[in-house]
Each structure stands twice: as structure tokens, then as C-alpha cells.
Amino acid sequence: MARRTRNPLGTLLESPAVREAAGALLDAVAQEAQSRRLAPEAYARAVRELGRMRGRPLLYPLLVGRSGRGARVALADGTVKLDFIGGIGVFALGHADRDLLETAVVAAAADEVFQGHLAPGPEYLRLSKALLRHSGKHLRHVWLSLSGAVANENALKTILQKKAPADRIVVFEGGFAGRTTTLAEITDRPGFREGLPLRGNVLHVPFYDPDDPDSVRRTLDALDAHLARHPGRIAAMLFELVQGEGGIRTAPPPFFAALMQRCREAKVAVWVDEVQTFARTGELFAFRTFGLDEWVDVVTCGKALQGSAMLFRRSYKPGPGLVAGTYAGSTVGMAVGARIIDRLEKDGYLGPEGRISVLEGRVARRFEALSRSLPRAVGPRSGIGAMHAFVPFDGSAEVTQAVLRAAFDEGLIALGSGTGPHKVRFLLPVNVTDEELETGFTMLEKALRRVGEERDLPC
């Protein structure tokens, strides 16, 4: 009798017996977790203790429990909140998604807890292939890593090696690239590099300004001025196509295309940081949503990937010894990252008519309704796909923090973004439901009204 052939590199989740066993473990864990809720005082103590151990309190009193669902996160005391920031963009498909949990459990039962570059397993292969399915015809290589910052460091080293002795990097004002010493300098936030030594090789150009009809010309001129002042010394320009920490700011594709074209002419590498945009703008990669494939040399991604990666053209292959490291990622992270990509493909999330693009309109309509009822509390709004932000009241740091805190107390978790005006940011799960959106916006409305009343600000 012919036996069914199995793909030896396919996910073990395809086996009904394995899936059933994974489901049984998840059920047992969920049941046990029910009886492990912290009492309010114990919860407050645990939050304080965490802050003490870190030497800095948590931003929110937030200790996650084990039984969230969709956009709802369960805290360790059993409280449930609507999570519109998802661990800063990590929970692409929301909390406690059964299929992703089963994927995680099966991956966790394998031999390797973490996978290194020396001894990769099938999850490493599957995730690499999944990324290359989406990176277009030019980016033919991928290197996995743990955090977005490590992917960016790998990209930077790869570019600097190829372009040596060029050592300057052009970046946009307002950008964010990560928390290493070098990336803190590339990041345009003085507060994030206080006291750090600077190498002085970062050159800034203005980001797109929708209120300036000459915005493209102004930024091109700034780039040209740098090129003229540092002939042969500029290695790369870094593009964060939607500035996540910088206030969910983006630009029309021709703005980026004009700059990328100038980089190509000047032999400057085009490096796109998609750590925050990954899986949030319509396609897996924002540079493809924006139709910029032909210009891009190196791309990094992370967050929703459950790990991170650098993708690059053949001509950018790093020399041996330049990019390595013990860990490429956790086996669970790789398996779940690959599964998320499969789900986005199969369940219709990607493409111009896909669910992520449709979500953009759904969120826009919620914001329009909110600004009709609170016209003075809801200032300028920006967003694409599953990443959105708006300016509350006057956009001062203090009032924005007050709104975020009031929203948290109402049951909605969001995060700040931008440095002036300050904004309230949402990184939504791409499968957020209408009910979750409606409940979240109702909480936001209450929070805005409360801050307005407390501070005597007209709404």
C-alpha cells in the first residue's frame, strides 16, 4: 500500500497526532493559568518589584497573564485590556492565537531552544524561504538575527564593508534605528544617546513635509549638499518608510523614489529599515507596498517576524567573518514567524485589496467619527495599514502622556510617538475585529473627555 509522503522539512504541525497533543498541552496550561491569578496587592507588588530590579519602573503597571485573545491582553491579575500597541508591534495576529500557540508548542518540543548560524534547523530554512518569497527579484539573500538592532548592525556592517572607505550614513530627521551605540547615533533622538561617544559620521536630511510643496526638492538639495561636501565618503542612505517612533510619518512613493534614484547615481547604498513596518503596510515589506523594488539594496525587518533579518542583493554579500553570532533566533520565534507569514498569505491579508489595506480605511473611519465628536481633542492623524497615530489636544508631551494614562485606566493600551507634536500611536493586530475597534475607540473617547475636563481643555 502506498504510504503518504511527508515533507521532511515541513512543519510537524501537519501531523494530526502532533497537533492534537499540542492542543491538549495548551488546554492544560490554560486551565491551570485560570487558578494562578495574582490578587490585586500581589500584582501591584510584582510590578513594583520588577521596576526595582530593572532600576526603572515599568511605563504601565503591566504584567501579562496567560489567556489573552485577539486584541485583548489578559494581565496576571486577570484584568483584560484592549491592546492596540501589541508589545510595540510584535503581536501581528493578536494574543493567544490558537494556531500560533500550537506552532510554538511544537517548535518548543524540538531539540534546539535557540538556533545558531552554525547548526540551523528546519525552522531557520522555512523562515528564510518565506522572507525571500516576498522580497522581490533583487534581494536574493537573507541573514536571520534576534533583535531589530542586530539586523540593523548587520546591515550597516555589510554596507560599510562593501563601500569602504566610504563611512558616512545619510538619515532622515526624526528616524529611529535601534539601541546599540552606533544606532543610537543614527537615531535622531538626543535623549536616547545622552552621554554616549559619537563617531560623527551621521548626516541628516529633512523628512517629507506634507505642508511644503517643495518638500522633495528640499530633501534632494540637502542630500546633494552632503554628497558634494563628502565626495566618495557616503556609504548609505537609511530609509524608514514609515517613521514608527517618529510619529507614524510617511511620504508619497515618488519622494522616496527620487532620493533612491539619486543614491543609485551617486553609488550610495539604499538601506530600508522595516523593523516596525514589517507586515503592517499591505505587503510584507513596505518598500514593495510603495513600489520601490528596483532601488533597494539592503532591507532589515523584525518585530512582527518574532525575530529579525537582513535581506540583501547578491552584490552586497558580506565577506566571511563579518556577520555571524551565536544565535540566529529562537526555534519558537522562527516557527511562529514563518507561520505568521503563511497565514498572512493564505488568509488574504496582503495586496492592494487585502485585509491590511482594508483595515486602513476602517481605522480612518473610526478616527473621522472621533474627531467629529471631539474636534479639538483629536488633532492631525496619520497612518497606513495597521499603524496609526494622532495628535491629542495641543500635542504637548505632558497632555499626550495624560491621555495615554487615562486610556490605560479606561482599559486601552497605546503608546506615544513623535517628539513634537507628540502623538498617540496604535500598532494594531492585523486581524482586529470591528467590535474591538469600536470598544477601543469608545475607551479613547472617554479618556480624551476625562483629560479635557481635568485640565480644562476644550474638546
Specify whether the CB–CB gap between 372 and 452 falls below 8 A.
no
Binding of ligand PLP at residue 152 (CB under 6 A)?
Answer: yes
Give the C-alpha distances (Å, rounded to integers) separating 315 from 139, 140, 441: 10, 10, 48
Of 59-67, 98-106, 144-152, 337-345, the segment contacting ligand PLP by CB under 6 A is: 144-152
Q: Residue 311 or 451: which CB sits closer to ligand PLP?
A: 311
Q: 268 φ, ψ to 5°? A: -100, 130
Residue 101 CA to residue 379 CA, distance in Å, equals 39
Indicate whether 311 belongs to the interface with ligand PLP (CB under 6 A): no
> Which residue's C-beta sits nearest to ligand PLP?
148
Answer whether 312's CB lies under 8 Å from 161's CB: no
Q: Measuring CA to CA, which residue among 411, 424, 453 is closest to residue 72? A: 411
- Label residue 23 exposed, middle or buried (CB < 10 Å: 0-12, 13-18, 19+): middle
Map residues 84-113 to x or -, x wherever contact with ligand PLP holds by CB under 6 A.
Answer: ----x-------------------------
Give the per-residue contact string, 212-251, with ligand PLP (x = CB under 6 A; - = no).
Answer: ----------------------------x---xx------
Q: What angle do CA 342, 348, 353 make, to 5 degrees?
A: 140
Q: Which stretch binds ligand PLP (CB under 6 A): 66-74, 176-184, 286-294, 325-333?
A: 176-184
- CA nearest to 188, candidates 238, 226, 147: 238
292/312 Cα distance (integer angstroms): 14
77 lies in the binding site for ligand PLP (CB under 6 A) = no
Q: What distance in Å separates the CA atoms of residue 370 and residue 440, rounded to the nearest whole number?
A: 11
Among the listed ranges 17-25, 94-102, 147-155, 398-406, the one in contact with ligand PLP (CB under 6 A) is 147-155
Among 105, 131, 149, 296, which residue interacts with ligand PLP (rule: CB under 6 A)? 149
Query: In terms of CB distance, is 244 or 318 closer to ligand PLP?
Result: 244
Crossing angle for the helix pair 122-133 and 331-346, nearest 10 degrees?
A: 40
* Site membership for ligand PLP, residue 337 (CB under 6 A): no
| Cα Rg of the chain (Å, integer) | 23
Query: Which of 176, 271, 316, 441: binder of ligand PLP (CB under 6 A)?
Result: 176
One symbol per residue from 264 to 303: x for binding ligand PLP (CB under 6 A), - otherwise; what is it? ---------x-xx-------------------------x-
Spatial distance between the Cα atoms of 309 and 186, rounded to a whole number of angstroms: 19
Residue 308 CB neighbours (<10 A): 27
**Of the residues 177, 344, 415, 432, which one makes contact with ligand PLP according to CB under 6 A:** 177
Q: Write down the least CB distance from residue 150 to ligand PLP, Å.
A: 7
Cβ of residue 242: shortest distance to ligand PLP, in angstroms?
A: 9
Residue 306: CB minimum distance to ligand PLP, A: 11
Nearest to 248 by CA among 91, 368, 390: 390
* Residue 259 amino acid letter: L
Pairing mode, strands 139-145 and 202-205:
unpaired
Residue 147 is a binding residue for ligand PLP (CB under 6 A): yes
Least separation in angstroms between residue 398's CB and ligand PLP is 23
Question: Residues touching ligand PLP: how many (CB under 6 A)?
Answer: 15
- CA dist 279 and 285 (Å) reads 6
* Measured torsion, CA atoms of residues 202, 241, 304, 284, in degrees rounded to the nearest 10: -130
Q: How far is the CB of 151 from ligand PLP (least distance, A)?
A: 8
Minimum distance of ligand PLP from residue 162's CB (angstroms): 21
- Window of 77-85, 171-179, 259-267, 359-367 that interacts with ligand PLP by CB under 6 A: 171-179
Q: Which stretch binds ligand PLP (CB under 6 A): 148-156, 281-289, 362-370, 424-432?
A: 148-156
In the complex, the residues that contact ligand PLP under the rule CB under 6 A are 88, 147-149, 152, 176-178, 240, 244-245, 273, 275-276, 302
